[in-house]
Amino acid sequence: MSNTSLAPLPSSDRTDVTARLRDALLGASFSADGLLDLLGAPAYAALARSETVPALRATRGDSPLEALVRLFLLQQPVPHARVADVLPVEDCLEGGWLIRVGGDEVAAAVDVRPYGGPGGEDWFIVSDLGCAVGGAGGIGSHDEGVVLGVGGASTTLAGITVRAPFASALDLGTGSGIQALHAAQHATRVSATDLNPRALHITALTLALSGAPAADLREGSLFEPVGDETFDLIVSNPPFVISPGARLTYRDGGMGGDDLCRTLVQEAGEHLNEGGYAQFLANWQHVEGEDWQDRLRSWVPRGCDAWIVQREVQDITQYAELWLRDAGDHHADPVEYQARYDAWLDEFEARKVKAVGFGWITLRRSDAELPSVVLEEWPHSVEQPLGDAVRAHFERVDYLREHDDAALLAAHFRLVGEVVQEQVGLPGAEDPEHVVLRQHRGMRRATKVDTVGAGFAGVCDGTLSAGSILDAIAQLVGEDPVLLRDRTPAQIRLLVEQGFIEPAAR
């Protein structure tokens, strides 16, 4: 299906109109905080689930903010005179942000959604009408070329992205420009690509309406638009859905199985500067007779360290139903729905796929002789944003790569903040069955340790070297200090790798 049925977009050249529109929106408190105050938490949360009735009920008054919510978020026509009290309405009509409907009403040409930046910035995400919420549960559209707004996937990627001063950043498959908007805050030069020219137009609108610098926008697939250029940061929330066809550009990559995600990861290495990061959301197949970790390990490009976290696994029936619902196919004719469901299962069975994993992939260009590739399954809750935790992971990788066991024993460590110790065992037992160290920040990890490991972590305050601490523990428990020094570095290495202890500055 072509995108000819989609509505015309506002002009991206009328920066004067866009600036006046932004000022008017902020003047009426059309912001994330303003919406929460107006709608209340339940109605505000309902909007994220694509449920509009609570917001409609909360905007039955005549305030300027209520008019804007009905106009831009709920896509309701509003009397021209009422909008003129809030916005430069004639400029917005001329610039294409508004259209005339009926006799004396105007309607929005696009969805404009307030979005709070990490530093309290007032941003706006532009998307096609009815598509403000992307991903599963979104309102969606069957129009080819439709551009979605903010969804759970896009906010997840924004949260895990490393935020540091970078000279250059690339948002590959930019969509409505959310990742480019974030990158513009800490990268000198931002490039954004998309196969869909409508997405590039909307990205330009998102950046301009948010008061952010313009990006270098390029049309094309994967890395083709950037040639052999390299970047300090690459981010992508790609169309990762594994489907039996490319019905919807925003979600179906058009390659077989998980080939699009594999290609994206494999080609990213040659586009990274030394020390640069590439971060993606991805789906991957769990194939009969193959370990999923081996599959993803083969994707990692030469010269790159990798940290891959599997957050969720769905069997093929759950996965098919999720994305059939996303497209609204469950509301279609039952015979048509069954045929599409069959097509998904046929595709999976042909590829011997038994489940699909979802998670995060981070690459860091190190050119190390022995790259670090860490794959793990972590379906538990985490504390976003995680960008600092991601960067710290690779800093720990560098530290451990540079320190052998002897160097670890000579080093000084300290316990990271907000780590607690839990003892697990039967009530009344003299000794615990095992000891667990648990983090309350970042990845919120938990790891089992023996009594030596727990005692070691508990006294790490940077004062004594690791070896001196082990010698003291050996004396307390009556163990040969040489043997204890021989067997403990592996446990110290694990505690450093998972972020429970860190090298102490001296």
Task: Report the alpha-carbon angle 72-78-81, nearest 5.
Answer: 120
Count of helix runs (H) and strand runs (E) in the chain:
20, 19
- Please provide the DSSP assignment of 15-37 as one string: HHHHHHHHHHHHHTT-SHHHHHH
* Mean pLDDT within 443-451: 94
**The predicted structure's pLDDT at residue 1:** 33
pLDDT band at 5 (very low <50, low <70, confident <90, very high): low
Q: Using one digit for the tens of pLDDT, what is the confidence trace for 470-497?
A: 999 999 999 999 999 999 999 999 999 9
- What 3-state class would DSSP assign to 240? strand
> For residue 379, is pLDDT > 80?
yes
Do residues 86 and 92 lie in contact, with contact meaning Cβ atoms separated by under 8 Å?
no
pLDDT confidence of residue 143:
65
Predicted structure pTM score:
0.94
Residues 206-227: tens digit of each pLDDT: 999 999 999 999 999 999 999 9
Rounded to 5 degrees, φ, ψ at 415 are: -70, 135
Here the tokens at position 42 are 């339940």
pLDDT at position 137 over 50? no
Statement: residue 258 has pLDDT above 50: yes
Chain centroid to Cα 392, Å, comes to 18
| Higher-scoring residue by pLDDT: 249, 427 | 427
pLDDT score of 432: 75
What type of residue sits at position 215?
Answer: A
**278 forms bridges with which residues in the sheet?**
234, 363
| Residues in Cβ contact with 264 at an 8 Å cutoff, skipping those fewer than 6 apart | 172, 222, 236, 238, 280, 282
Res. 134: pLDDT tops 70: no
Q: DSSP assignment of 215-226, as one string?
A: -EEEESSTTGGG
Q: Residue 348 contacts by C-beta under 8 Å, 6 or more apart in sequence?
A: 316, 320, 354
User: What proportions of the chain, in percent to the nearest 5, are helix, strand and coil?
Assistant: 40, 25, 35
Q: What is the pLDDT of residue 32?
A: 95
What is the full DSSP assignment across 253-267? -SSSTTHHHHHHHHH
What's the pLDDT at 425? Answer: 80
Amino acid type, 325: R
Looking at residues 291-318, what average pLDDT do you find? Answer: 98
pLDDT of 197 reads 96
- The pLDDT confidence band at residue 49, using thresholds 50, 70 and 90, is confident
- Contact at 8 Å (CB) between 416 and 496? no
Buried b (16+ CB within 10 A) or exposed e, 56-95: eebbeeeebbbbbbbbbbbebbbebebbeebbbbebbbeb
Residue 151's pLDDT is 87
Mean confidence (pLDDT) of the chain: 93
Mean of the pLDDT values across residues 293-322?
97
**Residue 156 is inside which H or E element, if any?**
helix 152-160
pLDDT of res. 141: 53
Long-range contact set of residues 192-197: C-beta below 8 Å, sequence gap at least 24: 192/216, 192/217, 192/218, 193/217, 193/218, 193/219, 193/220, 193/225, 193/226, 194/219, 195/219, 195/220, 195/221, 195/249, 196/3, 196/145, 196/147, 196/249, 196/250
Q: What is the pLDDT of residue 255?
A: 83
- Identify which has the larger pLDDT, 89 or 332: 89
Judged against a pLDDT cut of 80, whether residue 467 lies above it is answered with: yes
Mean pLDDT (whole number) for 30-34: 97
* Strand order across the 412-415 sheet: 461-465, 412-415, 501-503
